């Protein structure tokens, strides 16, 4: 079986050569040597050329005679959960939905990302005790990453 560390080193070697903000979001190697490598960028999107370049570096430095493998290099999809702190940083100002381990769902705009937590701003119409009608209420949530079950970008077509 090809080691995860070997794949990571080969991918990071090319990523550092490209020097364009690319980073590894997720890497998995199955017992059948099926390699899945997901990439993202600090600014902008991952291009096909980025994926091809990283893929070629990994593929050309592994010996198929020694161990056969299947390699999949892709960008982190918009529909997939956020899994790397850089993805939160990249999306400051965008709305995300966080599902906490407790099951609670919080949707809001990412205001700030720190090492172990982020701050979300959510706005909702709520009925206040004093008045009979609903008013727009802004709340701030300080959420530690270790309490996240999942976080996804809220896609809006407005």
pLDDT at 133: 80
pLDDT at 51: 97
DSSP 2: -
pLDDT at 1: 83
Domain count, the chain: 2
Query: 96 with 134, same domain?
Result: yes
% of the chain at pLDDT higher than 70: 99
Torsion of CA 73, 101, 122, 114, to 10 degrees: -60
pLDDT averaged over the chain?
Answer: 93
Residue 62 lies in a domain: yes
Distance between CA atoms of residues 68 and 41, nearest Å: 29
Residue 80 lies in a domain: no
Query: Is a pLDDT exceeding 90 seen at residue 62?
Result: yes
Query: 24 with 70, same domain?
Result: yes
User: What's the mean pLDDT in 78-102?
Assistant: 95
Query: 18 with 64, same domain?
Result: yes
Q: Of the candidates 69, 75, 74, which has an alpha carbon nearest to the alpha carbon of residue 44?
A: 75
Query: Is a pLDDT exceeding 70 seen at residue 25?
Result: yes
- Decide which of 41 and 1 is more confident: 41
pLDDT at 131: 65
Query: Is a pLDDT exceeding 70 seen at residue 98?
Result: yes
Whole domain around residue 71: which residue ranges? 4-75
Give residue 132's pLDDT band: very low, low, confident or very high (50, 70, 90): confident
User: What strand order describes the sheet that includes 105-113?
Assistant: 134-144, 117-127, 105-113, 95-100, 148-153
Q: What is the DSSP string of 31-87?
A: TT-EEEEEEEESSS---HHHHHHHHHHHHHTS-TTT---EEEEEEPPTTSPP-SHHH
Query: 54 with 104, same domain?
Result: no
Distance between CA atoms of residues 115 and 65, nearest Å: 43
Distance between CA atoms of residues 96 and 132, nearest Å: 30
Query: 58 with 114, same domain?
Result: no
DSSP 116: S
pLDDT at 121: 97
Residue 46 lies in a domain: yes
User: What's the mean pLDDT in 42-68?
Assistant: 93
């Amino acid at each position: 079986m090809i080691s995860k560390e070997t794949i990571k080193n080969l991918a990071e070697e090319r990523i550092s050569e490209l020097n364009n903000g690319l980073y590894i979001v997720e890497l998995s190697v199955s017992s059948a040597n099926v390699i899945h490598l997901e990439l993202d960028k600090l600014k902008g999107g991952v291009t096909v050329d980025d994926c091809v370049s990283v893929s070629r570096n990994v593929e050309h430095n592994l010996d198929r005679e020694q161990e056969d493998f299947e390699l999949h290099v892709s960008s982190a999809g918009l529909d997939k959960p956020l899994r790397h702190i850089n993805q939160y940083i990249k999306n400051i100002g965008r709305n995300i939905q966080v599902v906490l381990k407790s099951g609670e769902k919080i949707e809001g705009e990412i205001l700030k990302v720190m090492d172990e937590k982020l701050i979300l701003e959510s706005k909702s119409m709520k009925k206040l005790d004093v008045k009979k009608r609903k008013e727009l209420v802004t709340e701030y949530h300080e959420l530690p990453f270790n309490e996240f079950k999942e976080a996804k970008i809220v896609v809006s077509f407005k």
